[in-house]
Amino acid sequence: MTDTPPPQLGRDRPDRRGAFRLLFFALLAVGAGNTMLVSAILPPLSRDLGLPDWMAGAIFSLSAALWAITSSFWGRKSNDWGRRPVAALGMLGFSVSMLLFGTSAALAMAGYLQSSLVIFICLLASRTLFGLFGSGTNPAAQAYIADRTSRDKRTEEIASLTSGFSFGAVAGPAFAAAAGAVFGLLTPVFMISAAAAVLSFLIYTRLPEKTAPRKEAGLKSTGKKEGDGLWRDPRVMPYLIFAVGLSVVTGVLTQTFAFAIMDKIGVDGAEAMQFTGPAYTVGAAGTLISQLVIIPRLKMTNRTLMVTGALTLSVGAFLIVPTNEFAVLVLAQFFVGIGQGLARPGFSSGASLSVGSSLQGNVAGLVISANGTGFIVSPFFGPWMYENVHQSAPFIGAGVVLVLMAIFARRVFPANQVYQDDDDQPEIYD
């Protein structure tokens, strides 16, 4: 009589392959929708509507602030409600937000909204909805993966998941440029809204979650729960610091690159999408290379991923400064794509591995909050500095910060991260 083999973890199980793939596409849609708005659609849209450049950044600052505040809340709620309903709610909020943004922009372009202040408020309100509810998908998805993977496989699996967001972040503008050139500037917005609605339905109806997340231990004497103040934990805080720094610099690069293309190449409005599209496509290819080739084959540690990713991003930032050549700008996006594809999985999986199983929702929420925090201030280091200080200032500043982040990661994070938790048994999750 043969022994029954133990249940497989992660992608080795067919039901989990489908579940992980569904969450990958959900994060891809969120990443694509956000960056195509901020870098490919809003810059030419704001100039066509007569909005100052700083308004384009400010629209996303409030959304990022709400994202940072609510992500940790949704991460905790996913411990109580389950990962599936929180992830589905986040996708629904994202879908409605994109629909309202596209509708407001279409009314403004048609002349029904003429006041710059009214247009600004309408676009801001649509993004506010995303900041409040759309922030639920990322922490719930990351916690779902952590629940169902062994510790030795978690870096690779979380890298795969977060690469969906990173790939979407660089592929979104390329998609927007291609679809916008053929069907109109706002068509990609409505397409992403429809895709997000479908993904929300699929997550709620198809994502398997037979076992609820492990309950946290309550501390009745103080009224506090395990995980309160987790952001101050010395195991977690360095990853959050790195995540905030990466969020700031990628926000700066994302929000200013389209303006740099328009001014360096000498194009404006919808014509700019013919140049930003190919550049972002190459960036997307860089992220795919990180995901499909570099991470699985080189098996780098979390620290190496963060150091290498930050340095690669810095190369992309510095390349933008001296050139007016389109080919060099495209090459810069390639380095940006590779850098994001390496650095984001590094700190995401590192933070997950630094705590036990009952805190996965909490730490995932904190990581996603840190990702959004940088976008609160990045408009002041990106579009504002580009417009009021010097056109090279945002890129030089981002490159310097990235080099410092690489040094920080090299000196602070352990070479080989190990966390021992006797209760960490992801195989109980079905």
Residue of 139, 173, 175, 164 whose CA lies nearest to 341: 164
| 391 vs 234: CA distance, rounded Å | 38
| 50 vs 290: CA distance, rounded Å | 39
Report residue 219: phi and psi, to 5°.
-105, 85
Whether the per-residue pLDDT at 429 is higher than 90: the answer is no
Whether 351 is covered by a domain: the verdict is yes
Task: Report residue 244 as tokens.
Answer: 């905030």
Q: How confident is the model at residue 226 (pLDDT cuts 50, 70, 90)?
A: low
All residues at 6 or more sequence positions from 166 whose CB lies less than 8 Å from its CB, including other chains: 31, 287, 290, 291, 337, 340, 341, 344
| 278 vs 420: CA distance, rounded Å | 46
pLDDT the model gives residue 307:
95
H/E element, 218? strand 218-219
Whether 426 is covered by a domain: the verdict is no
Q: Is the dihedral of CA 252, 136, 32, 188 positive or negative?
A: negative
What is the residue whose two structure tokens read 């496509």? 281
Cβ atoms < 10 Å from Cβ of 309: 30
Contact 368, 247 (CB under 8 A): no
Return the CATH number at 17.
Answer: 1.20.1250.20
Contact 87, 140 (CB under 8 A): yes
All residues at 6 or more sequence positions from 107 whose CB lies less than 8 Å from its CB, including other chains: 113, 122
Whether 225 is covered by a domain: the verdict is no
Task: Supply the angle between the helices 83-109 and 187-206 in degrees, to the nearest 10.
Answer: 160
| 284 vs 121: CA distance, rounded Å | 32
Q: How confident is the model at residue 421 (pLDDT cuts 50, 70, 90)?
A: very low
Cβ atoms < 10 Å from Cβ of 357: 19
Tell me how long the chain is. Answer: 430
Answering whether pTM is above 0.85, one says no
Q: How confident is the model at residue 212 (pLDDT cuts 50, 70, 90)?
A: low
Whether 418 is covered by a domain: the verdict is no
In the predicted model, what is the mean pLDDT of the chain? 81
Q: Is the dihedral of CA 44, 50, 52, 58 positive or negative?
A: negative
Whether 408 is covered by a domain: the verdict is yes
| 195 vs 175: CA distance, rounded Å | 13
Span 70-74, average pLDDT? 89
| 385 vs 256: CA distance, rounded Å | 9
Whether 391 is covered by a domain: the verdict is yes
Residue of 86, 88, 89, 91 whose CA lies nearest to 74: 86
| 76 vs 69: CA distance, rounded Å | 12
Report residue 185: phi and psi, to 5°.
-60, -40
Residue of 45, 67, 68 whose CA lies nearest to 56: 45
pLDDT the model gives residue 96:
96
All residues at 6 or more sequence positions from 325 whose CB lies less than 8 Å from its CB, including other chains: none
Residue of higher predicted confidence among 47 and 343? 343
Q: What is the pLDDT of residues 179-202, one digit of tens each?
A: 877 788 888 999 999 999 999 999
Query: Considering its fold, how many domains does the chain have in total?
Result: 1
Full residue range of the structural domain in which residue 187 is found: 10-209+233-412
Among 120-124, 224-228, 264-268, which range has the highest average pLDDT?
Answer: 120-124
All residues at 6 or more sequence positions from 405 whose CB lies less than 8 Å from its CB, including other chains: 242, 245, 246, 249, 306, 310
Whether the per-residue pLDDT at 286 is higher than 50: the answer is yes
Q: How confident is the model at residue 156 (pLDDT cuts 50, 70, 90)?
A: confident
Task: Report residue 120 as tokens.
Answer: 């600004």
pLDDT the model gives residue 193:
95
Q: Is the dihedral of CA 225, 231, 237, 239 positive or negative?
A: positive
The alpha carbon of residue 159 and the mean position of all alpha carbons in its chain are separated, in whole angstroms, by 12
Q: What is the pLDDT of residues 356-414, one digit of tens each?
A: 777 888 888 888 888 777 777 777 778 778 878 888 889 999 999 999 999 999 999 87
Q: Is the dihedral of CA 311, 316, 319, 321 positive or negative?
A: negative
Whether 275 is covered by a domain: the verdict is yes
pLDDT the model gives residue 63:
81
Q: What is the pLDDT of residues 293-347, one digit of tens each?
A: 888 888 788 899 999 999 999 999 999 998 888 889 999 999 998 998 899 888 8
Whether 260 is covered by a domain: the verdict is yes
In degrees, to the nearest 5, what angle opens at C-alpha 78 toward C-alphas 305 and 66? 75
pLDDT the model gives residue 311:
96
Question: Using the 8-state DSSP alphabet, how is residue 41 labeled?
Answer: I
Q: Is the dihedral of CA 145, 205, 168, 105 positive or negative?
A: negative
